[in-house]
Amino acid sequence: MSIEQTYDLAIEGMSCAACVGRVEKALAKVPGVDRAAVNLATEQARVRLAETLDPADLVAAVEKAGYGAHLIEAGAGPDKQAEADTLRWESIRLAAAILLTLPLVLPMIGMAAGVHWMPPAWVQLVLATPVQFWIGGRFYINAWKALKTRTGTMDQLVAIGTSAAFGLSLYHMATGGSDHLYFEASAAVITLITLGKYLESRAKRGTASAIRALMALRPEEARVKRGDTIETLPVAALMEGDILIVKPGERVPADGRIVEGRSQFDESLLTGESLPVEKQAEDNVIGGSVNGSGLVEIAVTAVGGDSLLARIIERVQGAQASKAPVQRLVDKVSGIFVPIVLAIALVTFLGWLAAGAGSETAILNAVAVLVIACPCALGLATPTAIMAGTGVAAKAGILIKDAEALERAHGIRTVVFDKTGTLTEGRPRVTALLPAEGVADEELLSLAASVQQGSEHPLAKAVLAAAEERGGGIPKAQDFDSLPGRGVMATVEGRAVLIGSPRLMQEKEIATSALEEQAAKREGEGNSVVWVAADGRLLGAIAIGDRLRGSAAEAIRLLGEKDIETALLTGDNRRAAESVASRLGISTVLAEILPDGKADAISGLQEKGGIVAMVGDGVNDAPALAQADVGIAMGSGTDVAMEAASVTLMRPDPLLVLDAISVSRATVAKIWQNLFWAFIYNIIGIPLAALGYLSPLIAGAAMAASSVSVVSNALLLRRWKPRAGSRKD
């Protein structure tokens, strides 16, 4: 039976992009695996299954490829203790390497100042040996594992290069040429690469800061009200319906609904909203938000993986584990990088010999080629930028489903907006009743409200709210039936009642001409008009208005300034849609489109060329969101819309659409910057080393600096600021 299941694995022992390719190939060969993506920056693999299998098979496949692996529990974030232990161990190794290498390197610096003194050969050997075989031992181990699987990695380049310098020194010691030793070169290269790896690890921790910040929002304990007593329980033990007591300044332990009290809640790390949100009884609160000054009681509505925080974390982790399309180029280069470098090193060695240079010079120049070549920078260029970009986006309230969506969004040329709940506040209200001759307002509203009891549409809620405000009775409806894109029908006290669009009235041959002029006037003011009929006779029409969001006009204007076209796509009548579009400055209006026709409308825009984004919030927007090149769902909308979309906005603010495009452009720019520097570094560095312009020591320093610079450049994305970051509708 076909399934869709995903496992995350922590991978140990990867050093460069070539390692990524090896692990991916090993996982892809496991029967039942649909797709495997490995991220060098996070040192994790995400595996999607096409059929059920034992996760132990995945771990075994990775170990067979020469790496360590273990399963990561769903929803688990970075292991802080493991990271701290690894970093501490790395710092110890680095300190030892520096202490052992300095006595070898300092005399070289002294020689540049005219001081000629070197430690005895045996002292150099004693100092260099632990650096070569203890500090650098992992290069030999990983190189051997790669060799057994017939692949090339950075570890092989370092192991061969430093072994050549170390071996040449041993040869000279054995033959009495102690004046020509290169222990300092091999030790310095290993120390510099170890330093680079240490700095790289620290920098990579910064790219995962968004996940750590989200994980820190999870309280460990909660106060639960049980009758007249209050118990303190682990958050993992909470169940739906439990009543939580949350004091001022505390984090809300789980998603819930306020049953008593009122307060302000800081949701900034979850939604990007910088200002606290006022909430009272019956309002929903998000687990992980911070309670303000009030004492509140909250009924739990979602726990564990169903909570909003857990879903946000899963989204961010999924995006950071995915691969951008540009990574395919890097993967192809990485697959042949090490063999090419080995060939260049061999040609360098033979070339210098042929040119009449001694074997010593030929070996040192070949070693410089091996050491300066850096597949690490290539492997880190894209994933570090993706991690940093999705991280800052999440902090701004923009959840990006995968790296492909992040990369694609930078080229958006057209943004199509749904109207209700997207450009408007999604809280429509009845603005006018237009009863037919001989029909009372109360009869019109009561029958309409009765039928709308079975609908979740925002317009239906507006009719129900108006009927409840008037205090009239709402009869119970029977035989409710929804007519997608047209309206609804039901039987109320023996009467067959219809409520919906002019199209529905035309289908049922119900004349609306008597009220069309009044309806047109209301539609021209931006209202939606629904028609009501009973037993084949028109009862009247109801005008329903919805306020535009405060930032909608500004968002449309700013998109236009960036040469991004905007369009309005709605099932509403054309006059109302054109009124809204006119007020906002939208030139293209696609109105009176049925839900199943919205995807076709998006397809039509795509045929004109350019990347098309769709912004919506309702179930009826899901087909269009899925059809669009980039689907953007308002987080205040339905789960169906969010599942269909590739980007979710945690606040219903149209300016976040602009921010989503902005962060995509910033991230893609960083990716190309990183790839440029990674490629140009190797394109320039390898020939210089081959021509003898770089010593192994300088080559090692350059190699270490390349990876650190790529990661550091990606971290500059953390300076990106959202335009909508401090706004509040």
pLDDT bin (cut points 50, 70, 90) of residue 228 is: confident
What is the rounded CA–CA span in Å between residue 83 and residue 208? Answer: 12
pLDDT bin (cut points 50, 70, 90) of residue 2 is: very low
What pLDDT does residue 130 have? 94
What pLDDT does residue 75 have? 55
pLDDT bin (cut points 50, 70, 90) of residue 728 is: very low
What pLDDT does residue 134 have? 92
Phi/psi class of residue 38: alpha, beta or left (left: φ > 0; alpha: ψ in -120 to 50)?
Answer: beta
In Å, how far are 20, 119, 192, 441, 718 from 199, measured between CA atoms? 20, 30, 10, 73, 18
281: CB partners within 8 A, 6+ apart: 258, 259, 260, 261, 262
Of these ranges, 108-122, 661-675, 676-690, the one predicted with the greatest mean pLDDT is 661-675
Mean pLDDT (whole number) for 707-723: 85
- Asked whether residue 369 carries a pLDDT value surpassing 70, the answer given is yes
Q: Where are the alpha helices (DSSP H) in 355-457?
A: 359-372, 375-395, 403-409, 441-452
In Å, how far are 151, 404, 560, 693, 727 from 664, measured between CA atoms? 34, 10, 17, 40, 20
Mean pLDDT (whole number) for 189-197: 79
What proportion of the chain, given as a percentage, has pLDDT over 90?
Answer: 15
195: CB partners within 8 A, 6+ apart: 94, 97, 98, 704
pLDDT bin (cut points 50, 70, 90) of residue 636 is: low
What is the rounded CA–CA span in Å between residue 362 and residue 350? Answer: 7
First to last CA, the chain: 47
- DSSP 3-state of 302: strand
Choose the catalytic residue: 8, 155, 402, 418: 418
Q: How does pLDDT run across 492-536, given as a tens digit for each residue?
A: 888 998 988 888 898 888 988 889 889 888 888 878 888 999 988
- DSSP 3-state of 469: helix
Phi/psi class of residue 71: alpha, beta or left (left: φ > 0; alpha: ψ in -120 to 50)?
Answer: beta
Nearest Cα to 457, choosing from 492, 496, 476, 484?
A: 484
Entry pTM: 0.73
- Asked whether residue 426 carries a pLDDT value surpassing 80, the answer given is no
And the tokens for 604?
């039509």
- Tell me what percent of the chain is helix, strand and coil, each rounded to the nearest 5: 55, 20, 30
pLDDT bin (cut points 50, 70, 90) of residue 1 is: very low
What pLDDT does residue 478 have? 87
pLDDT bin (cut points 50, 70, 90) of residue 669 is: very high
Q: Which of 48-52, 101-105, 690-694 has the lowest mean pLDDT?
A: 48-52
* Beta strand segments in 175-311, E: 221-226, 229-234, 243-246, 255-260, 263-266, 277-279, 284-285, 290-291, 296-302
pLDDT bin (cut points 50, 70, 90) of residue 665 is: very high
What pLDDT does residue 113 have? 59
And the tokens for 393?
């986006």
What is the rounded CA–CA span in Å between residue 473 and residue 45? Answer: 59
Amino acid present at 684: I
pLDDT bin (cut points 50, 70, 90) of residue 200 is: low
- Asked whether residue 479 carries a pLDDT value surpassing 90, the answer given is no
- Asked whether residue 447 carries a pLDDT value surpassing 50, the answer given is yes
And the tokens for 226?
């049980």
Q: Which of 81-85, 645-649, 697-701 has the lowest mean pLDDT?
A: 81-85
DSSP characters for 101-146?
A: HHHHHHHHHHHHTT------HHHHHHHHHHIIIIITHHHHHHHHHH
656: CB partners within 8 A, 6+ apart: 272, 396, 397, 398, 649, 722, 724
What is the rounded CA–CA span in Å between residue 526 and residue 524? Answer: 5
Q: Say if CB 345 and CB 165 are below 8 A apart.
A: no
Q: How does pLDDT run across 261-286, given as a tens digit for each residue?
A: 989 888 876 776 667 888 889 888 98
What is the rounded CA–CA span in Å between residue 269 and residue 272? Answer: 6
Nearest Cα to 615, choosing from 472, 457, 424, 445?
A: 424
Domains and CATH numbers, the chain: 5-74 (3.30.70.100), 82-209+317-389+677-719 (no CATH), 239-302 (2.70.150.10), 403-424+548-645 (3.40.50.1000), 429-545 (3.40.1110.10)
Q: Tell me the pLDDT of the chain averaged across its residues.
A: 83
145: CB partners within 8 A, 6+ apart: 13, 65, 66, 67
pLDDT bin (cut points 50, 70, 90) of residue 258 is: very high
- Asked whether residue 408 carries a pLDDT value surpassing 60, the answer given is yes
Q: Say if CB 500 and CB 483 are below 8 A apart.
A: yes
Q: How does pLDDT run across 169-182, given as a tens digit for each residue?
A: 888 888 876 666 77
pLDDT bin (cut points 50, 70, 90) of residue 44 is: confident
pLDDT bin (cut points 50, 70, 90) of residue 560 is: very high
What pLDDT does residue 554 have? 93
- Asked whether residue 638 carries a pLDDT value surpassing 70, the answer given is no
List residues bridging with 588 in a β-sheet. 567
What is the rounded CA–CA span in Å between residue 279 and residue 552? Answer: 24
Class of residue 116 by CB neighbours under 10 A (exposed 0-12, middle 13-18, buried 19+): exposed
Nearest Cα to 58, choosing from 92, 35, 81?
A: 35
418 in active site:
yes
Q: How many other C-beta atoms are found inside a 10 Å radius of the C-beta of residue 171?
A: 15
What is the rounded CA–CA span in Å between residue 431 and residue 419? Answer: 18
What is the rounded CA–CA span in Å between residue 125 and residue 104? Answer: 10
By DSSP bridging, strand 487-492 and strand 495-500 are antiparallel
What pLDDT does residue 203 have? 66
Residues in the chain, total: 729
Higher pLDDT, 620 or 47: 47
Q: How does pLDDT run across 577-616, given as a tens digit for each residue?
A: 888 888 899 988 988 887 778 888 888 898 888 899 999 8
- Asked whether residue 619 carries a pLDDT value surpassing 70, the answer given is no
Higher pLDDT, 574 or 343: 343
By DSSP bridging, strand 565-569 and strand 412-417 are parallel
What proportion of the chain, given as a percentage, has pLDDT over 70?
Answer: 89
List phi, psi (to 5°) of 106: -55, -40
Q: How does pLDDT run across 274-331, given as a tens digit for each residue?
A: 678 888 898 889 888 888 888 999 999 988 777 777 777 777 777 766 667 777 777 7
Q: Say if CB 187 and CB 98 are below 8 A apart.
A: no
- Asked whether residue 559 carries a pLDDT value surpassing 90, the answer given is yes
Nearest Cα to 411, choosing from 667, 713, 645?
A: 667
